[in-house]
Chain A
Amino acid sequence: MSPISRGFHRRHQEAEPAGRVPPGQYVTSDFPVLSAGPTPHTALTNWTFSIEGGQSPASWTWTEFQALPSETVTVDIHCVTRWSKLDTRWKGVSLDVLLGAVSYDAPYVLAFCDGGYTTNLPVADLTGGKAWVAFSYDGSPLPAEHGGPARLLVPHLYFWKSAKWVRGLRLRDTDTPGFWEMYGYNMYGDPWREQRYAGD
C-alpha cells in the first residue's frame, strides 16, 4: 500500500491519449538526449553496418545501405527515464530487409555501436515489421546527438534498446547483457510491463 502524499495531484491537465502512454511515463514534446559518453562522429565514408555471427555475414557501406528499400514510420517512443514522445517520424531500413540478407538460426543479437555501446535483443523483436535502422528523423538526417548517422529503432521496447550510432548486430545463441543491462537494467525492457530494472 503506497503512502498518500497530501496535496500531491496531477498538474498536467491535458489528458494523455488513452492506451498510448505506458505506466510510469509522461509525455514530453521535446526530445531529450541521454548517453553515457561523448557523442561519436564517424565519417560516412568509414561507416558500415554489419551482421556478424550468422552462417553468411553481411556488411553494407553507407552508399549500399542508402540503396536498400527504406520505410517512413510514425511511432511512439518510451525512455526508461520516464519520458514518452508520441508520433515521432523516422525513415530507415527495416530489420526484415537486413536480417533477410543473411542466414542464421540464432535467437538473440547484441547490437554494437560507435563509442562502445551495446544492447541485447531477441531476434523475434527485430523482425516482423517492428524494428528499423533509422537514418532520418522528422524529415532531416538524424542528428549526431540523437544517434546519427544511424540508430536502431525498436519502439515497442524502452528506448535504450534503440541503440544510437549503431554499426551492426552480432547474432548470438544466448542472451548476453549489453551495456545498460550489465548495470542492472532489464534484459528485455517492455515499457507496458514496466520492465525498467533487473527483476522487474
Chain B
Amino acid sequence: MAGTAVRGRLTWVTATVDAMMDETAHVRTLVLSVPGWGGHQAGQHLDIRLTGDDGYRAERSYSIASAPGEPVAITVERLDDGEVSPYLTQDVQLGDEIEVRGPIGGYFVWEPVLDGDAPLLLAAGGSGVVPLRAMLRHRMQLGSSVPVRLLYSVRSLAEVIYRSELDEASDGVAVIYTLTRQQPPGWTGYARRVDQQMMAEVAWPVAREPLAYVCGPTNFVEAVAGDLVALGYPPQRVKTERFGATGTP
C-alpha cells in the first residue's frame, strides 16, 4: 500500500464560483477559481467550508471532478435532508466566495506514470462517478491509450451524471451502464444491482493485471470489491472510496 506522501500544511483559501452546470435534476457541477491551488491528482478530494451570516459554519468533503491542470471543479448531489448540498446545488450564485482547502487523499488516485499500462476498471455507484470522471479526463488529456471500462450503476438514464461526456467517450473507453430502477423502452443493457455474474462479464481478466477503482455507497462498494477479490483481483489492486447513507455531504 505504498504511494506518494502528501505533506505540508493545508490552509483555507477563499475560492470564487466561476461556472455552474446542471448535470441532472439533483446534481450540479461548480467550477471554482482557487488562488494558489497547488494542483491535484485524479481521484483526490477537497474540503469546503461555508459560513452563515450568524457565524454558523459547516464543512464537507467533495471529490474533485476535474483533471489535473484543469480548473478545480466539484460535482455535488443534492440530498434533501442535507445542509451543505442544497446550498451548493440551489442557492450559490456565480461569483460567490466559498472557502476551500485541499487537495486531500493520496491513495484513491490514478498515477499514470507509476501505474503504467495497467487496464483500468472503474466502477461507480451513483455520484461515485465523480472522482472516476477526473481519471477519464486525465487519461484523455494525456492522450493515454490505457484501456478503460467504466461500470456505472445508476437508477435511470436521467440520473446519469456527465451523460454527454460519457456518450462521447474516446477510443479505448467502454462505458457500461446498469440501470437499477427504471429502463427506457428497448433497453438491452444491465438492469439490476451489480453481482458477481455482472462483474465476471465486465471486469478485465486478472491476467491483464488490471487496476480497479470503486466508488459509491457502502453496499455497492462492498459488493463490487468483494466480487473482484472473488474473481482473483489482488486486494491491493482494488482501491475503494465509500460513502454511507449520510456520508455524502
A interface residues, Cβ below 8 angstroms from B: 2-12, 24, 26, 28-40, 81-83, 115-117, 145, 177, 179-180, 182-184, 197-200
20 contacts between A and B (CB under 8 A): A5-B50, A5-B51, A5-B52, A5-B92, A6-B53, A8-B50, A8-B58, A10-B58, A24-B57, A34-B242, A38-B235, A39-B225, A83-B244, A117-B1, A177-B5, A183-B6, A184-B6, A184-B7, A198-B7, A199-B8
| Among B97-105, B123-131, B135-143, B195-203, the stretch in contact with A | B97-105
What 0/1 pattern do residues 146 to 167 of B give for CB contact below 8 A with A? 0000000000000000000000
CB distance from B42 to the nearest CB of A (A): 15
Q: Using an 8 Å CB-CB cutoff, how does the interface string of B219-249 with A read, 1 for contact, 0 for none?
A: 0001001101100000110111011111101
Contact A36 B107 (CB under 8 A): yes
Which B residues touch A198, using CB under 8 A? 6-10
CA gap between A93 and B96 in the complex, in Å? 51
Q: Taking the complex as formed, is B218 at the interface, i.e. its CB lies under 8 A from any CB of chain A?
A: yes
Interchain CB contact under 8 A, A2 and B3: no
List the B side residues contacting A28 at CB < 8 Å: 244, 246
Q: How many residues of B contact A (CB 8 A)?
A: 56
Contact B225 A2 (CB under 8 A): no
Q: Which of B1, B52, B246 contacts A10 (CB 8 A)?
A: B52
Check B14–A3 contact: CB distance below 8 A: yes
The interface residues of chain B lying within 8 Å CB-to-CB of A145 are 218, 222
Docked pose: A140 CA to B6 CA in angstroms: 38
Q: What residues of chain A lie closer than 8 Å to B247, measured between beta carbons?
A: 32, 34, 81, 83
Residues from chain A with Cβ under 8 Å of B225 in the complex: 37-39
Contacting pair A82 B249 (CB below 8 A): yes
Instruction: Give the residues in chain B near A184, CB-CB below 8 Å.
Output: 5-8, 10, 104-106
Q: A4-B51, A4-B53, A82-B59 are in contact. List 6 more A-B contacts (CB 8 A).
A: A4-B52, A26-B58, A26-B83, A28-B244, A182-B5, A184-B5
Q: Choose from A9, A31, A36 the contact partner of B1 (Cβ within 8 Å).
A: A36
Whether B245 and A32, one on each chain, are in contact in the complex, defined by CB atoms closer than 8 angstroms, is yes
A38 nearest CB neighbor, chain B only: B225
B4 to chain A, nearest CB (A): 8
Residue numbers in B under 8 Å from A83 (CB-CB): 244, 246-247
Q: Residue of A at shortest CB range from B6?
A: A184
Instruction: With CB as the reference atom, state the residue of chain B lying closest to A2.
Output: B51
Nearest Cβ on chain A to B48's Cβ, whole angstroms? 10
Q: Would you give the shortest CB distance from B184 to chain A, in whole angstroms?
A: 33
Residue in B closest to A31 when the chains form the complex, CB atoms: B244
Kindly report which residue of chain A lies nearest to residue B15, judged by CB atoms: A3
Question: Among A2, A26, A179, which residue has its beta carbon within 8 angstroms of that of B99?
Answer: A2
Q: Contact residues of B with A, CB < 8 Å?
A: 1, 3, 5-10, 12, 14, 49-54, 56-61, 82-83, 86-87, 91-93, 96-99, 104-108, 218, 222, 225-226, 228-229, 235-236, 238-240, 242-247, 249
Which secondary structure dominates where chain A touches chain B? loop
Give chain B nearest CB distance to A79 CB in angstroms.
9
Q: Is A38 a contact partner of B218 (Cβ separation < 8 A)?
A: no
Contact A183 B106 (CB under 8 A): yes
A26 to B59, CA, bound (A): 9
Whole-angstrom distance between the Cβ of A105 and the nearest chain B Cβ: 29
* Min distance, Cβ A72 to any Cβ of chain B, angstroms: 25
Q: How far apart are the CA atoms of A6 and B51 in the complex, in Å?
A: 9
A14 CB to closest chain B CB (Å) equals 12
- Partner of B246 from the list A6, A32, A36 (CB cut-off 8 Å) is A32
Specify which of B98, B108, B222, B242 is in contact with A5 (CB 8 Å cutoff): B98
Chain A residues, CB < 8 A from B245: 30, 32
Supposing A31-B244, A33-B244, A184-B106 touch, asked if A9 and B56 sit within 8 A by C-beta, the answer is yes
A4 partner residues in chain B, CB cutoff 8 A: 51-53
Task: Select A37's contact among B86, B97, B236, beta carbons within 8 Å.
Answer: B236
